[in-house]
Each structure stands twice: as C-alpha cells, then as structure tokens.
A and B are shown apart, each in its own frame.
Chain A
Amino acid sequence: MIRPDAPVLLEIRDLHARVEDKAILKGVNLTIRAGEIHAVMGRNGSGKSTLSKVLAGHPAYTVTGGSVTYRGENLLELDPEQRARIGVFLGFQYPVEIPGVSNLEFLRVSTNARRAEKGEEELDTFAFEDLVRERLKVVQMDPAFLDRSVNEGFSGGEKKRNEILQMALLEPLVAILDETDSGLDIDALRIVAGGVNQLANADNATLLITHYQRLLDAITPDYVHVMAAGRILRTGGKELALELEQRGYDWVDQELAALAAEVA
C-alpha cells in the first residue's frame, strides 16, 4: 500500500559495504515507508543478500560509506541485538541450527527482549505459551516444534516457518526476508507467504529479497527493485518483476555495460 504521506521507516543512502577485502555494495539508495512492500531482485552475487546482512548488523560485513536511518536513528551504530529490539527483523535464507537450546525458550527470551524495549511487561512461561500457541496459527505450525532445539533437524520448510513465527512474535516494523522462498515446495510457499501477508499492515513494511517471480505471485509488492553489481539499477512496480521473468537477467547485463560505457 503506497501512501506518500506515510512515515519513512528506513532510509538507505549511498550505502557501501565490503566483506573481507571485497567491495560488494557500491552505493545503494532505498526509501521504505510504512505500509509498503518492497521486493529486491537480482542475480546471485548482485549484493542483495549482503544488503540484508548489513541492515541486520552481521559482523563479517564492514560498511565503508553511506548511511542507514531507521525512524530517524542511525541504524549502523547499533549492535545486532539492539536493531532487533527496536523492530528490524531479518528472516534468514539459511536459519542455523542451535543444538541444546530449546526453541520455546529461545522464542520467549527473544520476544521479551523486544517487549522490554517497547516498555511492555515481560511474559512468564505460561503467558508466553498462550501467545506462541496463538501465533503458531499464522504459519500452521505444529506445537511439537516448540519442544525441539532451535531449528535442529527441521526441514527447509519448517525452518522458514519458524522464521515467520519469530516475525509474528517480534512484530517488527521493518521485516527483511532473505530468499524466504528458497527451498520451499508449493504448499510451504503458500503457508509462508500467507503468514507474511497476514503480518503486513499499514504501520510496518516488508523488504523481500528474492531471485524468482513465484514469491511475488503470492505476495504483491508495491515496488520492485533490480539489483546488480552492488547497486539498485532499476525501480518499478510489480510489472517489473514480470518483465524480469519474461526477459531474464540478460538485459540487466546490457544495461550495466551501457552504464559502464557512459561512465567511461
């Protein structure tokens, strides 16, 4: 939902970042307002996953220039846990397994960290169980998953559902979903996309990072951005995704070449 007067949640300006010695982001600009759903598409290696990790504060990535402002606050100077507490969420492409740590306990500690930041009271075990059982419905998840270790032995689809469950509990204002559709079969994709749609509202925003059109059949984006060589090359509406689907990414290469020629 596009409302030009909606408050800006996330403002990315000329963002540069590298991992080890390799420059990956080379000037990303993006403005996200409340109520919007954005999709960032692009080939492997275009920098779209890096963008998501940089926004969440992964220690392996170093920001070398530009700024990211979240609701007026400099996001880049915050620790990853602080970003999460104030409402920035990253849904991982490959959620890691954490043996021995109970999923239920993990979800509770995490939810309470966010609640404390919002000035809400912490939930005890019982109150939290009530909440989590209600939110499980968003992703049609079996309560048995709560008793297992975090993501341990979960199938690809179960891991992604667990991600969306976390999103449902944390109620972020900006949710970045990195390749949430990868490794999902049709049914799982429908459930996960259904969850994302249920959670989107006029006050929050979603940034989908994806390779394929098929996720965008289930979640309709307000904006589609095409990323290449560490920058957003083009921005359009949902029809841009369809164009990509039909023409493939080859034209992106041509545009890049043209751009390079211009610069030279």
Chain B
Amino acid sequence: MSNAQAVGDLVSQPYKYGFVTDIETEKIAKGLSEDVVRLISSKKEEPPFLLDFRLRAYKQWLQMREPDWAALGYPPIDYQDVVYYAAPKQQQKKASLDEVDPKLLETFDKLGIPLSEQKRLSNVAVDAVFDSVSIATTYKEKLAEHGVIFCSISEAVKEHPELIERYLGTVVPSNDNYFAALNSAVFSDGSFVFIPKAVECPMELSTYFRINSGDTGQFERTLIVAEEGASVSYLEGCTAPMFDTNQLHAAVVELVALDDASIKYSTVQNWYAGDENGVGGIYNFVTKRGQCRGDRSKISWTQVETGSAITWKYPSCVLQGADSVGEFYSVALTNNKQQADTGTKMFHVGPRSRSTIVSKGISAGRSANSYRGLVQIGPKAVGARNYSQCDSMLIGDQAAANTYPYIRSQQPQASVEHEASTCRISEDQLFYLQSRGIGFEEAVSMMVSGFCRDVFNQLPMEFAAEADKLLALKLEGSVG
C-alpha cells in the first residue's frame, strides 16, 4: 500500500462519541411557527421581554434568506422537519448533583466530563448541556464567593433578568443573519457568565454540549460579560451520536469586554461528522462575536474544529475600544466528505486596535476546507494593525483547501499583513521520521500536531493536551 493511501486510512477513524443515551425525552412536535416560539418561551417560564425578543427574531427570520455565499454544498434544509425543543424528562433542575438522573451523569462520564463531586476536575467549573437543557453546573457556589455568575442561560433569565435584558442581542442583533435570527427565535440553552469589575475568574469555566436526540436541533445561546478589569477563560466542547440523518445546530455566542477586561474563549468542536460517504453528521451554523467595548480590552478566540458535516463559523471581534486587542487562533481538520467554511472577522473601530489571526486548515479524504476572513479598518482606527497567517495542509490528493481573505481599510495609517502557505505531508518527510524508528501513525500525528502548535499553545493548559489527543485520535488507526 502506498503511503498516500495509508495516510488516508489513518484519518478515517471511527467516531468514539457516537453512542445514544436511552433516556425518556420530552419533545415538542416537529416544525416551526409562532406558536412553537411561544411554547418554548412558556416552557422556560420566560419574562415578557424575552418572548418579545424571540417573536421579533422569528418575524425577521421569516423575511430572510439562507445565505449561499459560503463554499459549501448541501441539500436544502427543511426547517419544518426539525424538533425545536427536547429535554430529558426531569422537570426541575436539581439542587444537588446527586439528584441528577444517573444515566445523564454516566453519559458525561463516558464523554470524559465527570460531574460528580468525587470525580470532577479540580480546577474547571463545568456546565453540562444535554439536548435543549442544562443538567448541571459545577462549582457555582465557589464562583459566587468571587461574585462570578456561571449558570445556564435559562437560569440566568430567571435569576438575573436585568443582566440578560441589558446584554442579550447587543453583540449579535437578532437580524444579524439567517441563522442568528433562527437561534434568537428558538434558542434553548447555553451558558451565562458574568465576571464583575476587577475580578479575575478563579478557575477555568467550561460548557459541554451534547446532542442526543436524532431529529432535534440544538440552538445554544451563550453570553459572557466581563466588566472593567475582569478576566476569564472559557472552553466549550461538543459531541453528538451517530445518526444517518443530519442534525441542525445553530448557535449564537456573544462576548462583551469592558475597559481592561479580557475574555479567552476556546472551542473544541467534535460533533459527529457523518460517515465516509458523507451520510449523516451535524450541520453547524454558528455566529460567534465578541465586542471589545472598553479601552484596552481583549478578546481571544481559539478553536479546534474537527467534527460536523458542515461548518459555517466565523468567530469575530468588534474592536471598539482604543488599544483593544482581538485574536483568532484556529485549527480546522476535515476528512471524508466534511466541508468547513470558517474564519474570522476583525472590525477595527478604535484607534490603535490590534488583531492577530492564525488559521491552520488540515484537509484529508475528499473534504473541502476553506478559510474565509475579513479584516476591516474603519476611518477612526488610526494606527490599527493586523497580522494574519493562514496555512493549509493537504493529506492525500483528493482534498481541497481554499483561502478567501478580504481586507477593507478606510484608514491610510493602518498596517495589515497577510501570509498564507499550503503544504502537503510529503513522502520524504514521513520516510525521514520512519527511518528514525518512529512509526507511521506517530509520524503523521507528530507532523500534524507540529503544524498546529501555534494554535494549541493558545489553549488553556488543561485542554492543550486534550486537543492534541483529539487530533491524534482522528488520525489514529491501523495502517496496512
């Protein structure tokens, strides 16, 4: 067998999170209408302002058209064939973890996210979201001692409605785009984080999203606010069972950083990607945006995208404050018939705002991996600077890599740099490592992880090794 073939086999590993939890689920009927929006809102016992927000978004959505500019091909989505709310039957969120359905705890155990008191990670607080609801959040009390709020967004709506009303939809307006409008109308659960003035969040925060039902869409909504001088590091992880139908996932994440605040948002996305013929897998349409409202504020996105049949995702920064900083570090791995169109947008509004973009795309199999990025420098962004680096690695000879960088500058004194490269794991590089006693699989995984090093270095320490393992897992398998 030639090396090229063997590399191909190597990246086609079975998905290890493809199991389904057998649990009684409460689902509403398929389809979307004003009544469904009202039903979701009433199930969540929401205040009127939120129902208004949802209904407005729904009406906007009806007027909008699904975007078709991305380099993605998929059959039309039937939005009436999706269940918009599903929850494990356990009406009230339990006060103590011991009361949570053991099946759910077991599910998260299996996913490597132990929630129970004895086993949970000592330095990471976790919010666990199962289909449309959050089932548990760890370390809430400990965080509260520091004034940090970390809970599901549904809970925040009940307990901190004033904060939700003040910030929700202010970074990503409900009519921002088709998928954001859909999410605003039907969003189910997600996390809410609030770090008060001058508080450095004492531990890593993390949300783990699990889709379990086969015909349910997940519409998570996350909102993170860091007040003046506050800082936080947050990580989300995602997996889903293997189904031969496609599931819709349309999330919205909003970040707000005030003066001197800093938010680090990391994602390890491993939704089910479909099989080798492109059957099944998650359609992942995500709007993530951070607003550096304050001077010297900083928002940093790090993403490791390995799953989903379709990825449409552009975590962005609006650099409003003077001297504010936006960062985007991305690794996107596609295999088989996966398609990813991902990148970032950096809007430079404030003077001397700076942004850094480092994107690493790895395409294997017959997949297509596109980087799409916009750097926009407004007229007041005197002295703004951007540095972008987009590298692609091709594995095999049937994968595609594209780079679409857009640069718009209305400020003559700004500096924008863009570097791009494409490489292939060459037979000679593999042979060199092999001829030093390093096995074929380890050689490939060493090179891929070397290629991604600049991005992995940005992940919180606890997760850097995790990401490396995840990639190795995707690349692991028998050769021959």
Main SS at interface, chain B: helix
From A84, A96, A98, A170, contact of B450 by CB (8 A):
A98
From A59, A92, A100, A105, contact of B432 by CB (8 A):
A92
Q: Is B17 an interface residue (CB 8 A)?
A: no
Contact between chains at A114 and B435 (CB < 8 Å): no
Q: Is B167 an interface residue (CB 8 A)?
A: no
Contact between chains at B437 and A85 (CB < 8 Å): yes
Q: Is B65 an interface residue (CB 8 A)?
A: no
Within 8 A of A (CB), among B105-162: none
Contact between chains at A98 and B432 (CB < 8 Å): yes
Contact between chains at A84 and B434 (CB < 8 Å): yes
Q: Is B442 an interface residue (CB 8 A)?
A: yes
Given contacts A96-B429, A106-B446, contact A57 B435 (CB under 8 A): yes
Contact between chains at B427 and A80 (CB < 8 Å): no
Contact between chains at A60 and B427 (CB < 8 Å): yes
Given contacts A59-B3, A101-B450, A149-B450, contact A81 B426 (CB under 8 A): no
Q: A-facing mask of B211-253, CB < 8 A → 1, else 0?
A: 0000000000000000000000000000000000000000000
From B2, B3, B423, B435, contact of A84 by CB (8 A):
B435
Contact between chains at A95 and B432 (CB < 8 Å): yes
A114 to B437, CA, bound (A): 6
From B428, B440, B450, contact of A81 by CB (8 A):
B440
A90 to B431, CA, bound (A): 11
A105 to B433, CA, bound (A): 12
Contact between chains at B438 and A109 (CB < 8 Å): yes
A167 to B437, CA, bound (A): 12
Within 8 A of A (CB), among B1-49: 2-3
Contact between chains at A109 and B446 (CB < 8 Å): yes
Chain A positions within 8 Å of B436 at CB level: 81, 84, 106, 110, 113, 166, 170
CB distance from A113 to the nearest CB of B (A): 3
From A90, A99, A105, A109, contact of B435 by CB (8 A):
A90
Contact between chains at B433 and A98 (CB < 8 Å): yes
Chain A positions within 8 Å of B451 at CB level: 99-100
Contact between chains at A80 and B447 (CB < 8 Å): no
Q: Is B173 an interface residue (CB 8 A)?
A: no
CB distance from B388 to the nearest CB of A (A): 18
CB distance from B243 to the nearest CB of A (A): 36
Which residue from chain B places its CB closest to the CB of A53 in the assembled complex?
Answer: B431
Q: Is A56 an interface residue (CB 8 A)?
A: yes
Chain B positions within 8 Å of A98 at CB level: 429, 432-433, 447, 450
Contact between chains at B434 and A81 (CB < 8 Å): yes
Within 8 A of A (CB), among B406-445: 423, 426-429, 431-440, 442
Within 8 A of B (CB), among A57-81: 57-60, 79-81
A100 to B468, CA, bound (A): 14
Chain B positions within 8 Å of A166 at CB level: 436
CB distance from A147 to the nearest CB of B (A): 13
CB distance from A262 to the nearest CB of B (A): 38
Chain A positions within 8 Å of B453 at CB level: 100
Within 8 A of B (CB), among A130-176: 149, 166, 170
A81 to B444, CA, bound (A): 13
Which residue from chain B places its CB closest to the CB of A111 in the assembled complex?
Answer: B437
Contact between chains at B2 and A80 (CB < 8 Å): no
Which residue from chain B places its CB closest to the CB of A105 in the assembled complex?
Answer: B446
A110 to B453, CA, bound (A): 20
CB distance from B420 to the nearest CB of A (A): 15
Q: Is A203 an interface residue (CB 8 A)?
A: no
Contact between chains at A113 and B446 (CB < 8 Å): no
Chain A positions within 8 Å of B438 at CB level: 81, 106, 109-110, 113
Chain B positions within 8 Å of A95 at CB level: 432
Chain B positions within 8 Å of A58 at CB level: 431
A100 to B453, CA, bound (A): 7
Given contacts A84-B434, A106-B433, contact A96 B446 (CB under 8 A): no
6 closest A-B pairs by beta carbon, nearest first, are A100-B450, A113-B437, A101-B450, A110-B436, A84-B437, A80-B434
A-B contact pairs, 24 of them (CB 8 A): A56-B435, A57-B435, A59-B3, A59-B427, A79-B440, A80-B431, A81-B436, A81-B437, A98-B429, A98-B433, A99-B450, A100-B447, A100-B450, A100-B451, A100-B453, A101-B447, A102-B450, A106-B433, A106-B438, A109-B442, A110-B433, A110-B438, A170-B436, A170-B437
